[in-house]
Structure 1
Amino acid sequence: MLKIAICDDSRSDVERLEQAFDELHHSDVEYDVYFSAAELLQSLERHEDKYHVYIFDIEMPQMNGLELAKKIRERDAKALFVFLTGFSHYVMDVFDVITFDYIAKPINADKLESVLQKAISYLNLTRRDFVFQYRKNHFRVNCDDILYIEKKGRQAGIHTISDDYKTNMTTEEIWKQLDERVFCHIHVSYILNLGHVQAIDGDEVLLDNGERLLIARAHKQALKEKHLAFMKRKV
């Protein structure tokens, strides 16, 4: 089920968007509507709702869509943002917050269908499980939650958003379960999830949890190319 939050202060635009949703062929999509940034943020704080996609109007009073996206990005590094606007000069500002897509008004079902299909494809790309065992115990973690995998001799450390694990797997066995469009070698000892890269800073990668990892010179160019390709698939 694709969960979507819509935030737009224009009731007429919301009605058009709801009409577009009614014309879709997807039965596995649900959405909630908010008429202000404050209302959406309060709901996220109160209920800890987790949406896959956020659809915002850029032009809103008090807090516009770009400011709202930055607030949500602080709590959800993986949020997909889609912006609604009739002003093309906002497009570059939109991409500064690492958006997912952009829909020019007026809204219609064809435009919405295209965006949602892309979101579903992206989410299916990143949401797969990594299965391993350690000392006769079996584990399963979502690949999207893996920050990086650190190889030390025969042992591999699997560092995720919430926990660290160990396994005795070869590098070849590890790669059999990873998508090469999402993961990248940055060092003989490190396999990195590109989805958690906040910045490439000189000879280091800054992750969205604040950790820094060293980039080996031999892998630096490949990392830049893979990261650029990964971001292009998102936008």
Structure 2
Amino acid sequence: MAYTIAICDDEQVELHYLTKLVNQWASINKHVAITESFASAEAFLFRYAENKGYDILLLDIEMGAMNGVELAKEIRRANESMQIVFITGFPDYIAQGYEVTALHYLMKPVSEAKLFAVLDKACKQLNKSERAILLDIGGECVRISVNAILCVEAFAHSVAITTTAGQYVAKQSISEIQSLLGEGFIRCHRSYLVGLKYIKRMGKTDIILDNDAAIPLSRRLYHEANQAFIRFYKVE
């Protein structure tokens, strides 16, 4: 399985240490861990505005202007599926974790065994609660499973979202949808997004999906799309 894991801590030594442990855990369990490090809550929020596809967040509580609890509350406004793990040197904040449904607290210094156990638990939770997006479809709020999306096509001021259950049309830009979907999708053309898990084969000018639909692949985006496709299925 592939998991996107963000690590947010204002201490560089801690960021390097946690990243190393996460990669060890992934290697042992035959997972693919895509890790990103952030030195402040504000830095994570800036990136999160562009990409909401994070599965797990290892979050220090005691940081600068915005602390970890405040960041978690901001995330929980629209995202209930991200697994948030607080990391702290003080036990005083534990009660606040219930407000943001934190998965667990880890006390510094973080032990390898405890972090591995929490990451295992996070994966189980993610598998139980499939990630979804909410869109306004014809005046109704519709929940669409991210794992069911084959491709997205932009036209006029709307997008057509093709899923395993059918097609939906929403009045949003393709860039907005790309931000919501996050990892697991590639922009292969200015008007198309495709789900990596549904690609059957990739040629020089088009992508064939599992449903045999042919999606155009622009020359400018070929290399990036091809590398993303290879990385998605590569076993470390």
With the length of structure 1 as denominator, give the TM-score of the two structures.
0.53
Q: Check the 8 A contact 2:19/2:35 in 1, yes or no.
A: no
Aligned equivalents of 1:57, 1:118: Cα separation in 2: 19
Q: What residue number does 1:32 align with? A: 36
CA distance in 2, matches of 1:54, 1:95: 16
Shift in CA distance, 145/75, structure 1 to aligned 2, threshold 3 Å? closer
- How far, CA to CA, are the matches of 1:162 and 1:49 in structure 2? 15
Task: Give the match for residue 161 of structure 1.
Answer: 143
Which whole-Å CA distance do the structure 1 matches of 2:52 and 2:72 have between them? Answer: 15
Match in the other structure for 1:10 = 11
CA shift for structure 1 position 38:
1.0
RMSD of aligned residue pairs (Cα, Å): 2.4
| Aligned match of 2:85 | 82
Deviation digits for residues 165-222 of structure 1, max 9, x if unmatched? xxxxxxxxxxxxxxxxxxxxxxxxxxxxxxxxxxxxxxxxxxxxxxxxxxxxxxxxxx
After TM superposition, the structure 1 = structure 2 runs for residues 96-135 of structure 1, keeping only pairs within 5 Å, are: 96-127=99-130
Label 1:77 to 1:122 Cα distance change in 2 as closer, same or farther (>3 A).
Answer: closer
Contact 1:70 1:97 in 2 (8 A): yes
SS in 1 for 2:102: coil
Equivalent pairs: percent with the same residue? 31
In structure 1, C-alpha distance between the alignment counterparts of 2:51 and 2:127, rounded to whole Å: 23
Per-residue deviation at 1:108? 2.6
Contact 2:7–2:37, Cα closer than 8 Å, also in 1 = yes
User: SS at 1:41's partner residue?
Assistant: helix
By how many angstroms is 1:109 displaced?
Answer: 2.0
Name the CA distance, whole Å, in 2 between partners of 1:160 and 1:99: 26
Q: How far is the alpha carbon of 1:13 from its aligned partner?
A: 1.2
- In structure 2, the CA distance between the partners of 1:48 and 1:23, relative to structure 1 (3 Å rule), is closer
Q: Is the 8 A contact 2:81 2:129 kept in 1?
A: no
Q: Which amino acid is 1:4 matched to? A: I
What is the count of residue pairs matched by the alignment?
136
* Contact 1:10–1:35 (8 Å) recurs in 2: yes
Distance 1:29 1:109 in 2: 16
Q: Which residue of 2 aligns with 1:21?
A: 22
CA distance in structure 2 between the aligned counterparts of 1:68 and 1:80, rounded to whole angstroms? 13
SS of the equivalent of 2:77 reads helix
For 1:56, what is the secondary structure of its paired residue?
A: strand
List runs of 5+ in structure 2 lacking aligned partners.
135-140, 146-236
CA contact (8 A) 1:20 1:108 kept: no
Secondary structure of 2:53's aligned partner: coil
The one-letter code of the counterpart of 2:143 is I
Q: Which moved more, 1:13-22 or 1:52-61?
A: 13-22
Asked if 1:94 corresponds to 2:100, the answer is no
How many angstroms does 1:48 deviate by? 2.4
